[in-house]
Structure 1
């Protein structure tokens, strides 16, 4: 039985779009350091609160210091959505 011919087609390359070029030009080098800084600040805030039995970082906030620490951590997760 004869073997059928293999036809080669040119690979499809989509035309470059302006939006794709704009994304490549953006510099997102700030995202990782800010994200890690927010994570570490939030963690440090909560650890200091527990180690000092609630007298630090801000005594007037009492147990709301935990919310502030988790707020920093949530901010870190918010910034992480910008990382590409």
Structure 2
């Protein structure tokens, strides 16, 4: 009965060098921008409720809540890419 050939170990190529790049920490601006977006979204919503709909943008009514959530969501989406 013939014997099977041994498997070759993969050599390091361009595909593996990109995975090592993914392990690098984020840029210095990443964390402040992430936290700022979450806080701005929170303050946007709080301002809307405290001002009884007069601020931040008076004519769009409840869309202010959607804008606040969208800003905060952008910050929370950045948390999935954050590395220290």
- The TM-score normalised by the length of structure 2 is 0.70
- Kindly name which structure, 1 or 2, has the bigger radius of gyration based on alpha carbons: 1
- Counterpart position of 1:36: 35
- Counterpart position of 2:54: 55
Report the alpha carbon displacement of residue 32 of structure 1 after superposing the two structures with TM.
1.0
Equivalent pairs counted in the alignment come to 70
Report the alpha carbon displacement of residue 24 of structure 1 after superposing the two structures with TM.
5.0
CA RMSD of aligned residues (A): 2.1
Report the alpha carbon displacement of residue 46 of structure 1 after superposing the two structures with TM.
0.6
Report the alpha carbon displacement of residue 25 of structure 1 after superposing the two structures with TM.
5.3
Report the alpha carbon displacement of residue 28 of structure 1 after superposing the two structures with TM.
2.5
Q: Unpaired segments of 5 or more residues in structure 2?
A: 1-10
Q: Give the 4+ runs in structure 1 shifted more than 4 A.
A: 24-27
- 2:62 is the alignment partner of 1:79: no
- The TM-score normalised by the length of structure 1 is 0.70
